[in-house]
Amino acid sequence: MSSGSESPKGIDRKTVARVWQFSAPYRLMIVGFIILIVLGTVIGLVPTLAFRDIIDTAIENKDRSRLNWLGLLVVIAAFASAGISMMERWLSSRIGEGIIYDLRDKLFRHVQDMPLSFFTQTQTGALISRLNNDVIGAQRAFTTFLSTVIGNVINLAITLVAMFTIEWRLTLLSLVILPFFLIPSRRVGVRMADITRESMELNASMNTTMTERFNVSGAMLVKLFGQPRVEADDFSNRAARVRDIGIRSAMLARVFMVAMTLVGSIGTAAIYWIGGQMVINGTISIGDLAALSLLVVRVYLPLTALSNARVDVTSALVSFERVFEILDLSNPIVDAPDAGELTATKGNIRFDGVRFTYPSADESTIASLEDGTQRRLPARGPGSRIGAGLTEVTPSPSYVPGVEREVLKGVDLEIEAGQLVAVVGPSGAGKSTLLNLVPRLYDVSGGSISIDGHDIRSVTQNSLRKSIGVVNQDPHMFHDSVGANLRYANPTATDEQLIEATKAARIYQVIADLPEGFDTVVGERGYRLSGGEKQRLAIARMLLKDPAIVILDEATSHLDTENEHLIQQALEHALKGRTSLVIAHRLSTITSADQIIVVDDGVVVEQGTHVELRSLGGLYDSLYENLLRVDVTADQ
């Protein structure tokens, strides 16, 4: 994260070049915009030149007819200038908004396609800040460039040509103070860029805090375990820093603007004084001096605006820089150029020598999105065979994000279509990792996974994931209606299909009893539902997808005995004919499996049916005995 102690950082020219690349679809509009600026500037000179002619010719010769025509010409020029100004504004906003739409759309799609490792390493608030605040800042940079920089450069160039035509010596005199505009603007621009960058990072940090603390889980954690006063003070300190930066930025910009205005005023006064001397000497006419006095304002105002625009654009380009930083993140999980569609899936799954190591933070995200704070937990040391359930019995080092450790170490499995396969083992053994590889949430580090003989890396991710339904231990629900959450798996599902799926998942009656039935909003992350209701709703959502392969990751762990019985009945019917991979604590799920896979420390140590594995007297037998004692205790 940038800080005040870092050396000033300018804007890379490559950033400007990439911004220009985004304008490619709008180049014709930009040409039209420039043409309008030229016309508008030329027409803007008409009143000044007319005023000169009125003084030197119409008044001098008492020519009323010429005076009338010149007055009419000024009125016509005013109307033409107004019309051109409106067209300029429409084009600049159309170009600027269009480019920002393209940028925001590309950024959203890029982030959405990033692998799961990106989201596990990235702070949500910081990411949202890039998608919102930084894109808006980028919009300001581009519209400022179009309307201020290009417009004033053309205005300045045409005005100087007109001044040279009238009196070249006074024109050169007006340019003597040009360095006083250019040199400070560069220095101030770099400083403003640093201030803007720090402000954006602080705002992103505050967004992260609000995102984490203002959802239901975060608010509950703060109330039960945290120190709200300390949280508020920490947030207040960061907000105060943003306030102080804002004041410093405003004062720096105002001091710079006032200084430029003073420089322009001194230049204008010099033109008046020297030009007046030239009129007295008969070198130029009064009309020439009057015209030059008006035109010199049209020189210094654009110079002041350009100097200020340089500061604004330099600061705002920081936003483009931060957006491009995300767009430059490569996505390691992409479809192969010749990827085919996985269709008519039967559900045969094969693991051949599968090895896997979680990607490090450096490979998954950027430091500014991770806030540079790496809280690394020490890997768990050796332990004894104690624990409350099937996943907490034998020693096994847990996966620690950011610590490179091979989680799976050469897994070979053959799963036939339609089989119910239970995956068991101690916590951290690699069970969830193994299942997450099937829908390509991560890619294997070595070996391969095949479905119906097709390497999953050789088919499109979309077709692969259409064939797979997943119910997690803590299923996510959007802050939307029950029906909308269900239809997320199948947008074309009819009301009858919703009813059928919810009945199969034994959740229909609960929904029917809600105030608005399927139109009832479930709340953020589904917190208006109990854990068992949310899981049954997730199972109904999976049934609506109608996949060939089902992955249940501890999907019944939150259910009491009565709910579990209902769910087991539903799953027995729903999973029939589908390949099912299940991580479960429940004895009923394990003992009824066609095949049980026992994983320990990333290796399949045992494989077979319940009866076969019990007879071996190995790890599964110990796990089962422990779980049996837990269930007996729970029943008592």
- Give the model's confidence band at 554: pLDDT under 50 very low, under 70 low, under 90 confident, else very high: low
Closest CA to 37 of 80, 97, 84: 84
Do residues 256 and 188 lie in contact, with contact meaning Cβ atoms separated by under 8 Å? yes
Please indicate whether residue 620 or residue 263 has the higher confidence score (pLDDT): 620
- Give the model's confidence band at 585: pLDDT under 50 very low, under 70 low, under 90 confident, else very high: low
In a domain, 399, yes or no: yes
Return phi, psi of residue 422, to 5°: -95, 130
- Give the model's confidence band at 423: pLDDT under 50 very low, under 70 low, under 90 confident, else very high: very high
- Distance separating alpha carbons of residues 109 and 480, to the nearest angstrom: 22
In a domain, 540, yes or no: yes
Query: pLDDT (tens digit, 9 = 90+) per residue, 32-42?
Result: 988 888 898 88
Residues 503 and 619 in one domain: no
Return phi, psi of residue 366, to 5°: -120, 155
Burial of 205 (0-12, 13-18, 19+ CB in 10 A): buried
Strands (E), 393-485: 406-415, 420-424, 446-451, 454-455, 468-471
The domain that holds 524 is classified in CATH as 3.40.50.300
Residues 406 and 449 in one domain: yes
In a domain, 386, yes or no: no
**For the stretch 262-274, what's the b/e string if a residue is b when 16 or more beta carbons lie within 10 angstroms of its beta carbon?**
ebbeebbebbeee
Residues 502 and 633 in one domain: no
Q: Helix, strand, or coil here: 103?
A: helix
pLDDT of the residue at 630: 54
pLDDT (mean) for 526-537: 79
Number of structural domains the chain divides into? 3
Closest CA to 397 of 600, 622, 553: 600
Residues 490 and 445 in one domain: no
- Distance separating alpha carbons of residues 178 and 608, to the nearest angstrom: 85
- Does 104 have pLDDT greater than 70? yes
In a domain, 378, yes or no: no
pLDDT of the residue at 229: 76
- Does 280 have pLDDT greater than 60? yes
- Does 512 have pLDDT greater than 50? yes
pTM value? 0.70
- Distance separating alpha carbons of residues 590 and 596, to the nearest angstrom: 7
User: DSSP characters for 181-200?
Assistant: HHHHHHHHHHHHHHHHHHHH
pLDDT of the residue at 599: 92
Residues 78 and 215 in one domain: yes
β-pair partners for 564: none
Query: pLDDT (tens digit, 9 = 90+) per residue, 205-254?
Result: 777 777 667 666 666 566 556 667 777 777 788 888 888 887 887 777 77
Residues 192 and 217 in one domain: yes
Domain termination site, one of 302, 327, 352: 327
In a domain, 218, yes or no: yes
Alpha helices in 365-469 (DSSP H): 367-370, 431-436, 461-466
Please indicate whether residue 555 or residue 164 has the higher confidence score (pLDDT): 164
Residues 494 and 404 in one domain: no
- Averaged pLDDT score across all residues of the chain: 77
Residues 534 and 401 in one domain: no
Residues 77 and 167 in one domain: yes
Domain termination site, one of 486, 511, 546: 546
Helix (H) or strand (E) holding 576: none
- Does 126 have pLDDT greater than 90? no
Percent of the chain with pLDDT over 70: 78
Return phi, psi of residue 56, to 5°: -80, -25
pLDDT of the residue at 373: 40
Percent of the chain with pLDDT over 90: 12
Query: SS3 sequence, 249-270?
Result: HHHHHHHHHHHHHHHHHHHHHH
Alpha helices in 410-458 (DSSP H): 431-436
Query: pLDDT (tens digit, 9 = 90+) per residue, 351-395?
Result: 999 999 988 777 777 777 775 443 333 333 333 333 333 333 333
**Domain limits at 496?**
476-546
Residues 486 and 412 in one domain: no
**CB atoms inside a 10 Å sphere around CB 462:** 11
Do residues 355 and 447 lie in contact, with contact meaning Cβ atoms separated by under 8 Å? yes
DSSP secondary structure letter of residue 604: E
The domain that holds 182 is classified in CATH as 1.20.1560.10
- Distance separating alpha carbons of residues 84 and 87, to the nearest angstrom: 5
In a domain, 528, yes or no: yes
- Does 64 have pLDDT greater than 80? yes
Query: pLDDT (tens digit, 9 = 90+) per residue, 472-482?
Result: 877 888 888 88
Residues 54 and 120 in one domain: yes
In a domain, 236, yes or no: yes
- Does 336 have pLDDT greater than 60? yes
- Give the model's confidence band at 532: pLDDT under 50 very low, under 70 low, under 90 confident, else very high: confident
State the sign of the Cα–Cα–Cα–Cα dihedral 140, 146, 149, 151: negative
pLDDT (mean) for 18-31: 83
Domain termination site, one of 290, 312, 327: 327
Residues 239 and 308 in one domain: yes
In a domain, 216, yes or no: yes
